[in-house]
């Protein structure tokens, strides 16, 4: 069998067929061929299949797997490997984010009793989001996971204030997930989960923000399109402990997600609290991750946000921002 690659290379005619397709097809047929089958016969069969468009490469077959299901299968491959952390939400860094409405310094001025504090309209932002299993294959039906997401807003270009982190939002959570594969109107319900999440900025006084929620997350897919809805109920707090009693007026009671993958590009949409607030206090987030030539480990990333709740510190301030940077992992 060590002569097979040499034989294949001698048989290939440059410019007529894809060498990669022909080699993959012939190697597949060699594994199944009888002792009397010749290389020439296998080549002829492969040429006919490739010209007719009936040969399916392994990579093409994988791409036909709906993308949420593909992500689930990849998670299953890594879930029991020690020292492995898996991506949860998108992981990215935006080197420059411009907010056309400007960032509000009033909270910081009040906290530190200094009216000279100012915020730049341009900053850097990044998100790190990881998950790990707690229990898997319970009754061969569901898994229990935990995750941590950190989203930071860094005034790195603000030399006047010594380049501080304007805000960091911490979001630990835990959930139960299962994959029913129910089908409806051509879509497959590939992922459902129910969990609890805490989100806060770890600060005190004027700058303190936090809330807790119970949520469900339901995701359907069809080929390269995935859509999800994530409703939640806020866990109420005592009035004296509540730093942001009106937060649901701006962040509502759920989010809608949609992601579409075209070639190596991923286009994503998030809509929150638009219908519920009558389009007065909602938010829309758009993102695009795209391949970079000769750089397979990272993607370019463009991120746009318009509305309320970009960060906890400014949950009740309208933000209109756009940024560009790099993506490590995306939704799909």
27-36, 151-160, 285-294: segment of lowest average pLDDT: 27-36
Q: In terms of CATH, what superfamily is 67-329?
A: Phospholipase A1 (2.40.230.10)
Q: Are strands 122-138 and 225-234 parallel, antiparallel or unpaired?
A: unpaired
To the nearest whole number, what is the mean pLDDT of the chain?
Answer: 88
200 part of the active site: yes
Task: Return the number of other C-beta atoms located less than 10 Å from residue 106's C-beta.
Answer: 12
Q: Which residues pair with 173 in a beta bridge?
A: 147, 197
Q: Are strands 165-178 and 254-262 parallel, antiparallel or unpaired?
A: unpaired
Quick one: pLDDT at residue 22? 78
User: What are the pLDDT digits (tens) for 93-145?
Assistant: 999 999 999 999 999 999 999 999 999 999 999 999 999 999 999 998 999 99
User: What are the pLDDT digits (tens) for 65-82?
Assistant: 787 887 777 777 777 777
Instruction: Look at residue 15 and tell me whether its pLDDT is greater than 50.
Output: no
User: What are the pLDDT digits (tens) for 179-218?
Assistant: 999 998 999 999 999 999 999 999 999 999 999 999 999 9
Numbered ranges of CATH 2.40.230.10 in the chain: 67-329
Tell me which of 170, 198, 253, 318 is the catalytic residue.
Answer: 198
User: What are the pLDDT digits (tens) for 253-279?
Assistant: 999 999 999 989 999 999 999 999 999
Query: Which ranges constitute the DSSP H helices of the chain?
Result: 4-11, 19-32, 39-52, 58-63, 67-78, 106-112, 247-251
Tell me the two tokens of residue 4: 């097979």
């Amino acid at each position: 069998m060590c002569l097979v690659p040499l034989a294949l290379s001698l048989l290939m005619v440059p410019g007529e067929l894809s060498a990669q397709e022909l080699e993959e097809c012939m190697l597949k047929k060699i594994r199944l061929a009888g002792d009397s089958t010749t290389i020439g016969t296998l080549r002829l069969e492969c040429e006919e299949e490739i010209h007719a468009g009936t040969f399916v490469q392994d990579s093409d077959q994988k791409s036909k797997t709906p993308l949420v299901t593909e992500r689930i299968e990849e998670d299953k491959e890594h879930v029991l490997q020690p020292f492995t952390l898996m991506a949860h939400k998108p992981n990215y860094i935006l080197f420059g984010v411009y907010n056309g409405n400007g960032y509000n310094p009033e909270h910081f001025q009040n906290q530190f009793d200094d009216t000279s504090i100012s915020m730049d309209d341009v900053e850097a932002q990044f998100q790190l989001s990881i998950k790990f299993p707690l229990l898997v294959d319970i009754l061969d039906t569901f898994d229990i996971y935990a995750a941590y997401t950190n989203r930071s807003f860094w005034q790195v270009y603000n030399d006047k204030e010594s380049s501080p982190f304007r805000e960091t939002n911490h979001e630990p959570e835990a959930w139960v997930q299962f994959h029913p594969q129910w089908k409806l109107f051509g879509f497959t319900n590939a992922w459902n989960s129910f969990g609890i999440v805490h989100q806060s900025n770890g600060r005190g006084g004027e700058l303190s923000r936090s809330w807790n929620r119970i949520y469900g997350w339901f995701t359907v897919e069809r080929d390269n399109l995935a859509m999800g809805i994530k409703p939640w109920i806020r866990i109420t707090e005592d009035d004296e402990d509540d730093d942001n009693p009106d937060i649901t007026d701006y962040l509502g009671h759920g989010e809608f997600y949609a992601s579409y993958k075209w070639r190596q590009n991923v286009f994503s949409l998030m809509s929150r609290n638009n219908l519920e607030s009558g389009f007065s206090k909602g938010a829309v987030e758009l993102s695009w991750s795209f391949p970079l030539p000769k750089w397979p480990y990272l993607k370019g990333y463009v991120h746009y946000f318009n509305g309320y709740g970009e960060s906890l510190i400014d949950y009740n301030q309208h933000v209109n921002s756009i940024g560009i940077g790099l993506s490590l992992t995306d939704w799909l």
